[in-house]
Copies of this chain bind each other. A is one copy, B any other.
């Protein structure tokens, strides 16, 4: 395998495993062995669903603005902000008026996200 197969772009929607997390919240998943990346696009004024999982998660707001709900707190985030969500902490996001693009990192990789599908993987 060429190393080129390990190279991707945030804006290439042909790459990654497509997943609709919630209506208006769509991601493309890139599974690794130790970590998994997820490039999430959230429509304007749209919110995901509060959920939690044992895997550690990091998020980086790439574009737009949003409110992060995490562990019972509500924290406004702008492009360039990033955060750690420890395993087991309930979380979701609501995009602002211009929508939001978020890079999420899961470690270890979430099993439910290793295939195309829908939802936050609770099932």
Residues in chain A within 8 A of chain B (CB atoms): 2-4, 6-11, 30, 32-35, 37, 55-56, 58, 60, 68, 70-73, 75, 77, 80-87, 89, 103, 105, 107-108
Question: How far does the alpha carbon of A107 sit from the alpha carbon of B30 in the complex, in Å?
Answer: 14
Question: How far does the alpha carbon of A7 sit from the alpha carbon of B89 in the complex, in Å?
Answer: 14
Question: How far does the alpha carbon of A75 sit from the alpha carbon of B6 in the complex, in Å?
Answer: 11
Given contacts A3-B73, A103-B60, A105-B105, contact A83 B8 (CB under 8 A): yes
Considering the complex of A and B, which 8 residue pairs feature the smallest CB-CB distances, nearest first?
A34-B107, A34-B56, A35-B107, A3-B73, A6-B84, A107-B107, A3-B71, A7-B83
A14–chain B nearest beta-carbon distance, Å: 14
